[in-house]
Amino acid sequence: MSHVLAAVAWPYANGPRHIGHVSGFGVPSDVFSRYMRMAGHDVLMVSGTDEHGTPIQVQADADGVTPRQLADRYNRVIVEDLHGLGLSYDLFTRTTTRNHYAIVQELFEGLHRNGYIVARTTLGAISPSTGRTLPDRYIEGTCPICGYDGARGDQCDNCGNQLDPEQLVNPRSRINGETPQFVETEHFFLDLPAFAEAIGSWLDHRENWRPNVLKFSRNLLDDLQPRAITRDLEWGVPIPLDGWRDRADKRIYVWFDAVIGYLSASIEWARRTGDPEAWRQWWSADAQGKDALGYYFMGKDNIVFHSVIWPALLLGYSGEGDKAGAAGELGRLNLPTEVVSSEYLTMEGKKFSSSRRVVIYVRDFLERYDADALRYFIAAAGPESNDTDFTWAEFVRRNNDELVAGWGNLVNRSVSMAAKNFGEIPAAGELTEEDRAVLAVAKAGFATVGELIGKHRQKAAIGEAMRVVAEANKYLSEQAPWKLKSDEDKPRQATVLHVALQVVSDANTLLTPFLPHSAQKVFELLGGEGVHAPMPRIEEVEDLDGGPSYPILTGDYTTGARWESVPLVAGTPLAAPKPVFRKLDPSVVDEELARLGGDEA
Ligand SMILES: [Zn+2]
């Protein structure tokens, strides 16, 4: 058994999240974590909202609120959405906690001490009319890479590249339109080339990564440049060095602080459990962390941060780059075991876009549909290894044909027949070859489905689980227990229904990581009591170090089902079942399409 860290990408808190955001890594990381817990591993699943950086500052300015107020608003929305999806975080926190600030500064100091953070003179913008520093977000111009005219001084929202203000073509102040004057100013840079060798040999020993992720990561090493990790900005983590700590106009760059969230959230989780050192079991590269595995889940636009930059920070803090050095007080830290990157989800053939209303927010989705219906779609048809299109027609089809007519129907007819004819789980008599065969198919599912989830092949995994469902439906149709009504046939009817219910129970366990809400219901329909699929809860907590309070997602996930076949007990009372899934009227397709914006907007 291992200590398994599930490190899930941090949603940016500048708005509500849409289903594209949760399809790539939110739901898949939960499926993985739930399975690993059921298989007996010690899982620590952490994430939080990413709340610093220019876009939040810009939007707060536009809304007339402080960045903190804006982040508070969307942190809460996102926490509630992830809760609604049943994502089983041990801790979902945020980057504005004092704990996070302290850990970010500890890593910055450690890297600086070891020589991996270097000051450089660069060009900074000032306003010629006032002589004051012009923060990056107040400068816009034409992107030198893609030609987009609304690029900002720190990044182009059109092509996604990070920029420096002086790279912009025709730069201008967004405050008064004047051309900024560029003067020399100091910033800190991460010496990425000093890690090229260490990261290269680490990548050489990666196994099981998706080939495109590994190839992309290797290619990044060919052209590593020192990378700026501070900006001219007031909103962010202060720079923890003498002469810098109190400067209001310089902050640590948001990407540097956000990746450190995996570590700071693990430490916060440990502090909240009352064992402040407990996080080391998932992170320490020394003896006690030998059985520790770290899986990072993200969209493909974030690979570079997880396969190059985050390893560089961990290596540098541990004193393991070209310049060597000594580990800081957190000790030597583990590098990722695997970077699990997903592809993009599109919506009815178009890129998700809030401004063009090509979008459905998680909240709106969950108001109209069940969380497991979305979770099923994501697992069966999500952007696991190819860009994938979400269409309402396909969503309704999969819900009705597969979830309702396949799985729901199997549950419903086997439980209702047993309830009606016996009022309990009937005892099985002697088993036929057919009985044994279908039971064996279900049992074999534990190895195949589990192995596929462990390798992040969830599409194939849920396909195997649904194959068990299909075999069971076929078995029921062939055995036709509804015909076995005479006194003479009754014992055979009992056996067939017992076998069917056992396969339902096994299939339910196989589907539990994917469909936890309905798995709990099916478990109870079979007479089970207690928690089968544990759920997260929202808790309002105090900041551990005196900052403002905030909501977290957490939970106790130790009580759920194990990844194994549990023999049903004959005589367990059964009641007539209520349907577990909802059939959707095909008219919802047109209703939903009418809600989407067109190209003209
Ligand atoms: Zn661009």
Element (H, E) at 46: strand 42-49
Q: If you measure from the C-alpha of residue 348 to the centroid of ligand 1, how many angstroms do you get, rounded to a whole number?
A: 25
How many Å lie between the centroid of ligand 1 and the Cα of residue 65? Answer: 28
**Centroid of ligand 1 to alpha carbon of 146 (angstroms):** 4
Query: By C-alpha distance, which of 328, 302, 300, 301 is closest to 313?
Result: 328
52 CA distance to ligand 1 centroid (A)? 21
Report the separation in Å between the CA atom of 204 and the middle of ligand 1, taken as the mean of its atom positions.
Answer: 32
H, E, C per residue of 248-292: CCEEECHHHHHHCHHHHHHHHHHHHHCCCCCCHHHHECCHHHCCE
Stretch (H or E) spanning 316: helix 310-318
pLDDT for 554 beyond 80: yes
Token output for 574: 């059964």
The CATH number of the structural domain formed by 391-533+571-589 is 1.10.730.10
Average pLDDT over residues 42-54: 96
- 80-94, 308-322, 351-365: least confident range: 351-365
Instruction: Give me the pLDDT at residue 126, please.
Output: 86
Q: What would the CATH number be for the domain defined by 3-116+195-220+249-342?
A: 3.40.50.620
Q: Is the pLDDT of residue 413 over 90?
A: yes
Asked whether the beta carbons of 239 and 252 are under 8 A apart, the reply is yes
Q: Residue 600, SS3?
A: coil
**Is 127 marked as binding a ligand?**
no
pLDDT(62) > 90: no
Average pLDDT over residues 211-217: 92
pLDDT of residue 259: 97
Separation of CA 158 and ligand 1 centre (Å): 5
Ligand 1 centre to CA of 124 (Å) is 20
> What pLDDT does 157 receive?
84
Task: Quote the pLDDT of residue 289.
Answer: 58
156 is in an annotated binding site: yes
Can you tell me the mean pLDDT for 403-431?
98
- Given a cut of 80, whether residue 178 has pLDDT beyond it is yes
Q: How close is the Cα of 394 to the center of ligand 1, in Å? A: 34
Amino acid at 30: D
What are the helix (H) ranges across 398-489? 409-421, 433-454, 458-479
Distance 179 CA to ligand 1 centre (A): 20
Query: Could you tell me the pLDDT band of residue 208, with boundaries at 50, 70 and 90?
Result: confident
SS3 category, 383: coil
Between CA 597 and CA 88 the distance in angstroms is: 33
The rounded Å distance from CA 250 to ligand 1 centre is: 24
pLDDT band at 454; cut points 50, 70, 90 = very high
Strand partners, 601: none
- Going from the Cα of 564 to the center of ligand 1, the distance in angstroms, rounded, reads 51
- Relative to beta strand 227-228, strand 181-190 is antiparallel
Distance 6 CA to ligand 1 centre (A): 33
User: pLDDT tier at 287 (50, 70, 90 boundaries)?
Assistant: low
Query: Distance, CA 55 to ligand 1 centroid (Å)?
Result: 16
**Which pLDDT belongs to residue 288?**
61
301 CA distance to ligand 1 middle (Å): 14
Q: How far is the CA of 188 from the centre of ligand 1 (A)?
A: 24
Kindly give the distance from the C-alpha atom of residue 218 to the centroid of ligand 1, in angstroms, as a whole number. Answer: 24
Per-residue pLDDT band for 252 (boundaries 50, 70, 90) equals very high
341 labelled ligand-binding: no
Quick one: which of 497, 508, 523, 408 has its CA closest to 465? 508
At 346-382, the pLDDT tens digits run 999 999 988 788 899 999 999 999 999 999 999 999 9
Q: How far is the CA of 156 from the centre of ligand 1 (A)?
A: 5
Give the distance (Å) from ligand 1 centre to CA of residue 163.
Answer: 9
Q: How far apart are CA 358 and CA 346, in angstroms?
A: 9
E strand residue ranges, 162-313 = 169-173, 181-190, 227-228, 230-232, 250-252, 292-299
Structure confidence at residue 600 as a pLDDT band (50, 70, 90): very low
Whether residue 455 is predicted with pLDDT greater than 70 in this model: the reply is yes
pLDDT, averaged across the chain: 94
Q: Taking a C-beta distance cutoff of 8 angstroms, is the pair 293, 347 a contact?
A: no
Q: What is the mean pLDDT of residues 322-348?
A: 95
The span from the CA of 296 to the CA of 450, in Å, is 19
Distance 539 CA to ligand 1 centre (A): 41
> Which residues make beta-bridge pairs with 137?
none
Mean pLDDT (whole number) for 435-455? 98
Distance between CA atoms of residues 310 and 262, nearest Å: 10
Q: How far is the CA of 356 from the centre of ligand 1 (A)?
A: 20
In the beta sheet, which residues pair with residue 537?
Answer: 554
Whole-number Å distance between alpha carbons of 150 and 371: 38
pLDDT over threshold 60, residue 601: no
> Could you give the percent of the chain with pLDDT greater than 70?
99
For the chain, the structural domain boundaries read 3-116+195-220+249-342, 391-533+571-589
The residue assigned the tokens 């000032």 is 126
Q: Ligand 1 centroid to 162 CA: how many Å?
A: 9
Q: What is the pLDDT of residue 127?
A: 85
pLDDT of residue 51: 98
Is 60 exceeded by the pLDDT of residue 99? yes
How many angstroms separate the alpha carbon of residue 239 from the centre of ligand 1? 28
Amino acid at 130: T
Reported confidence tier of residue 155, pLDDT bands at 50, 70, 90: confident
CA dist 5 and 42 (Å) reads 8
Distance 117 CA to ligand 1 centre (A): 27
Query: What is the whole-number distance in angstroms between the Cα of residue 445 and the centre of ligand 1?
Result: 48
Ligand 1 centroid distance, CA of 346 (Å): 21
How remote is the CA of residue 161 from the centroid of ligand 1, in Å? 6
For the cut 90, the answer to whether the pLDDT of residue 161 exceeds it is: no
Question: What CA dihedral angle connects 189, 194, 195 and 198, to 10 degrees?
Answer: -170
Which run of H or E residues covers position 153?
none
